[in-house]
Amino acid sequence: MLNQYYGDYITVAVFVAIGAILVGGAVAANRAIAPRAPGGFKDVAYESGIEPIGGGWNQSHIRYYIFALLFLIFDVEAVFIFPWALQLEFFSSIGSGLTVLVEMFVFVGILLLGLVYAIRKGVLTWE
């Protein structure tokens, strides 16, 4: 079982290595054959062909933070849903499927209160 486990990840490692070689090779080939003439307008950030206004470091609005926070919270929720989805069939076969289903609904339901709170406070509206 352990060898099977590591074998699976060796496949992943091989794919990661091939990906790194492809990207590294493309970048290296680009370095080797591209003509270089730095300076002038090439250092200017590309903004759809118009001359850029202001710097690249713009202050983001704080509403992005709330969306990131919501994403984080529901990402953690998803982490718990994966093992649940994996074993629900097994729990159902030993007769406790309904209990486990309700357990997950309680979990999701409590977190949905947070989403309702966010909607009621109006933080999800885009002005």
Chain length of the chain: 127
Interacting residues toward another protein by CB under 8 A = 1-2, 5, 9, 55-66, 68-73, 75-80, 82-84, 86-87, 90-91, 96, 100, 103, 106-108, 110-111, 113-114, 117-118, 121-123, 125, 127
Give the residue with the Cβ less far from another protein, 29 or 68. Answer: 68
For residue 52, the minimal CB distance to another protein (Å) is 15
CB-hemisphere CA count at 13 Å for 52?
A: 12
Give the residue with the Cβ less far from another protein, 51 or 89. Answer: 89
For residue 10, the minimal CB distance to another protein (Å) is 11
What residues have CB less than 8 Å from 63, skipping those under 6 apart? 123, 126
Give the residue with the Cβ less far from another protein, 49 or 95. Answer: 95
How is residue 56 annotated by DSSP? Answer: S
What residues have CB less than 8 Å from 46, skipping those under 6 apart? 52
For residue 13, the minimal CB distance to another protein (Å) is 9
d(CA 116, CA 113): 5
d(CA 114, CA 83): 23
Give the residue with the Cβ less far from another protein, 51 or 127. Answer: 127
